[in-house]
């Protein structure tokens, strides 16, 4: 014989259950079962039975209710002392075999200690299977419905969230879709269920439906509460728009609430980079997850994660082949592999994709770690070394060290060639590092027109691009063939299915580069990324760049490679920082998108005379 509290309050005998009718004894029994094993005070029980209107003889009436319950118990062979009268109140001692609530809680706790995700999933499903309807549905006590039912329901919803997290992490998106669909509809106030539904839809190839769900959530929150969705849902939307792979690494936890990292300015997903580092908004944590606020810029970061493939990667065929040869050659690379270039040009994407393709050559593992804080300030070498996992003796390993600031920062981090190799990304050329450590250097330019076209196809879809091929090429030209700006334009097209590519290009052209931005994540805009890169330069270099972008030596309008009074050493430093390019063999050139950005920036800032520029010491 057992009591069932998780749904209609009833007494079960094998396969049969007697549902109790709403009454004062039923309310009393519910209050005792909810607090199984504890002494429940007489005052509490009086409030549970009569709410705010107890009779003058409430204590005597309570004893009468206890007697009535004992008579009911006798009909089912339940011992008379199941309800104990103790000083100050009453108590019922239940265990997992006599009360479903106790069994539910024990199963949920045991899921925490299970050795594998499959076992955790099975245990949680067994626990949730004990629920057979809304809790206390046949209990009339207003107090219990107000104070206890929400708490019990919360326990169930937390368990359901955990189960869905585990199933998503296992890649069982289709199997869990019905669960999260029902949960999201029945509990629209819980954004986590909406996030799980959106993730399941996206990972089963239903991107349009996933985006429609996001829009519906945003509209409901705006209409009902006048607020925007939480940061975790916003990051999930960005990840979907940019084609990020949300699947978990084998054996690891799946994507988590608040755990959809923002994409690095060069269009690479930062899924392999830990929280607290540049360009990230969080990292995957255990189920039950989703920190709602991004970590502070200087917050400690966890150990780096294994390198994951880059979704929708296209182009860079020659560079990718060269990198794979360097990383998988029988003779180990004697120094770092450096990938440098302008901000937003796709350095991190290339590094992560090459590392993923070469992973089998590194039995010690492939790991990625950003070398800057969220504000762009560099991490000390000691901080990075603390975050790197120690070698485990399994063999050589591959480290992706992202967004390096200087050679000095990198030198203490480079592994011995016998232990592994580092792939370094930086806006700087790191010539000093090449001089002392050798290695391989790849200077990355913008995409070719064909590569830009292919990137748009891979993100927006072949059919839509084929319908307006010339407009697509015009759009790529407007974006300067930067992967960052191309992905932002693609995201706009994806979220506006009725928007023509030509219309999108015309809208962007009216206000470049300001319109190369995401409304819900302005920190990923082209101006923001370029601003952040410009802030890393000295004041002299910033002024020199603005001068080169807006003036010619003769004072005429800039049109191509400027012949400039800026000292050669300053030009060299600007080229090294990725803001200008050295043409074959000269003069220096500026990417058109950077030029447009600089003109807009210069128009709103006070200027110093060109002759005042000096090379920083």
pLDDT for res 14: 67
CA 10-13-17 angle, 5° bins: 35
Question: What is the rounded CA–CA span in Å between residue 65 and residue 23?
Answer: 10
Question: What is the rounded CA–CA span in Å between residue 348 and residue 263?
Answer: 10
Per-residue tokens: 145: 């419905």
What digits encode the pLDDT tens for the residues 46-79?
999 998 888 888 889 999 999 999 998 888 888 8
Per-residue tokens: 443: 């200077």
Contacts of 5 (CB under 8 A, 6+ apart): 30, 33, 34, 99, 100, 101, 135, 136, 152
- Which of the two residues, 9 and 539, has the higher pLDDT score? 9
What digits encode the pLDDT tens for the residues 208-231?
888 989 988 988 888 887 888 887
Question: What is the rounded CA–CA span in Å between residue 196 and residue 201?
Answer: 9
Does 553 score more than 70 pLDDT? no
Mean of pLDDT values over 522-550: 84
pLDDT for res 166: 92
- Which of the two residues, 300 and 410, has the higher pLDDT score? 410
**Does residue 362 sit in helix, strand or coil?**
coil
pLDDT for res 1: 55
Q: Which helix (H) or strand (E) holds 385?
A: helix 381-387
Least confident of 188-197, 243-252, 457-466, 573-582: 243-252
pLDDT for res 611: 38
pLDDT for res 551: 66
**Model-level pTM greater than 0.85?**
no
Residue 306 carries which DSSP code?
E
pLDDT for res 179: 87
What digits encode the pLDDT tens for the residues 348-361?
989 998 998 888 88
Cross-strand partners of 11: 3, 18
pLDDT for res 584: 58
What are φ and ψ of residue 182, in 5° steps? Answer: -60, -45
pLDDT for res 297: 34
Question: What is the rounded CA–CA span in Å between residue 241 and residue 507?
Answer: 19
Does 319 score more than 50 pLDDT? yes
Question: What is the rounded CA–CA span in Å between residue 113 and residue 133?
Answer: 28
Closest by Cα among 296, 5, 11 to 148: 5
Question: Given pLDDT bands bounded at 50, 70 and 90, which one contains residue 32?
Answer: very high
CA 175 to each of CA 131, 158, 162: distance values in angstroms, whole numbers, following the listed order: 20, 19, 15
Burial class from Cβ neighbours inside 10 Å (0-12, 13-18, 19+) for residue 80 reads: exposed
What digits encode the pLDDT tens for the residues 476-510?
999 999 999 998 999 889 888 889 999 999 999 99
């Amino acid at each position: 014989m057992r009591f069932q509290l998780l749904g209609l309050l009833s007494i079960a005998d094998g396969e049969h259950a007697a549902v109790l009718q709403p009454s004062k004894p039923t309310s009393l029994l519910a209050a005792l079962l909810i607090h199984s094993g504890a002494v429940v005070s007489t005052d509490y029980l009086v409030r549970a039975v009569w709410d705010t209107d107890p009779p003058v003889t409430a204590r005597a009436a309570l004893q009468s209710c206890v007697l009535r319950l004992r008579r009911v118990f006798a009909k089912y062979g339940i011992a008379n002392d199941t309800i104990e009268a103790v000083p100050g109140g009453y108590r019922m001692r239940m265990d997992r075999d006599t009360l479903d609530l106790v069994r539910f809680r024990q199963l949920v706790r045991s899921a925490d200690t299970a050795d594998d995700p499959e076992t955790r999933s099975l245990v949680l499903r067994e626990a949730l299977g004990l629920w057979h309807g809304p809790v206390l549905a046949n209990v009339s006590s207003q107090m219990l419905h107000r104070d206890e039912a929400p708490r019990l329901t919360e326990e169930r919803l937390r368990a359901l969230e955990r189960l869905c997290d585990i199933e998503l992490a296992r890649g069982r998106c289709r199997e869990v879709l019905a669960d999260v669909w029902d949960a999201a509809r029945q509990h629209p106030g819980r954004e986590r269920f909406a996030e799980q539904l959106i993730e399941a839809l996206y990972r089963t190839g239903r991107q349009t439906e996933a985006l429609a769900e996001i829009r519906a959530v945003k509209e409901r929150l705006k209409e009902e509460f006048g607020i925007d969705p939480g940061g975790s849902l916003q990051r999930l939307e960005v990840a979907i728009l940019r084609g990020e792979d949300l699947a978990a690494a084998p054996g690891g936890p799946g994507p988590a609430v608040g755990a959809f990292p923002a994409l690095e300015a060069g269009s690479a997903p930062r899924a392999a980079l830990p929280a607290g580092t540049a360009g990230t908004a969080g990292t995957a944590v255990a189920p039950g997850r989703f920190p709602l606020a991004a970590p502070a810029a200087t917050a400690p970061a966890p150990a780096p994660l294994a390198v994951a493939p880059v979704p929708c990667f296209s182009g860079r065929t020659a560079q990718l082949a060269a990198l794979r040869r360097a990383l998988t050659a029988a003779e180990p690379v004697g120094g770092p592999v450096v990938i440098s270039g302008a901000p937003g040009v796709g350095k991190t994407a290339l590094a992560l994709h090459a590392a993923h393709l070469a992973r089998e050559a590194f039995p010690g593992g492939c790991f990625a770690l950003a070398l800057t804080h969220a504000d762009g300030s560099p991490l000390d070498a000691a901080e990075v070394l603390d975050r790197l996992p120690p070698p485990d003796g399994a063999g050589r390993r591959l480290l992706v060290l992202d967004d390096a600031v200087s050679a000095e920062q990198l030198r203490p981090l480079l592994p011995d060639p016998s232990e592994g190799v580092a792939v370094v990304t930086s806006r700087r050329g790191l010539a000093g590092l090449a001089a002392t450590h050798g290695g391989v250097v790849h200077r990355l330019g913008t995409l070719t027109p064909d590569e830009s076209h292919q990137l748009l196809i891979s993100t927006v879809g072949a059919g839509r691009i084929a319908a307006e091929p010339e407009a697509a090429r015009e759009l790529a030209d407007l974006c300067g063939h930067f992967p960052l700006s191309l992905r932002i334009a693609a995201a706009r097209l994806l979220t506006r299915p009725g928007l023509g590519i030509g219309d999108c290009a015309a809208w962007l052209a009216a206000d470049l580069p300001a319109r190369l931005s995401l409304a819900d994540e302005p920190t990923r805009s082209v101006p923001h990324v370029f601003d952040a890169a410009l802030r890393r330069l000295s004041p002299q270099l910033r002024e020199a760049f603005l001068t080169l972008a807006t003036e010619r030596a003769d004072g005429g309008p800039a049109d191509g490679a400027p012949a400039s009074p800026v000292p050669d050493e300053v030009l060299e430093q600007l080229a090294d920082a990725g803001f200008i390019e050295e043409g074959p063999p000269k003069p220096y050139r500026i990417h058109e998108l950077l030029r447009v950005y600089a003109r807009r920036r210069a128009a709103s800032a006070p200027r110093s005379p060109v002759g005042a520029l000096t090379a920083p010491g």
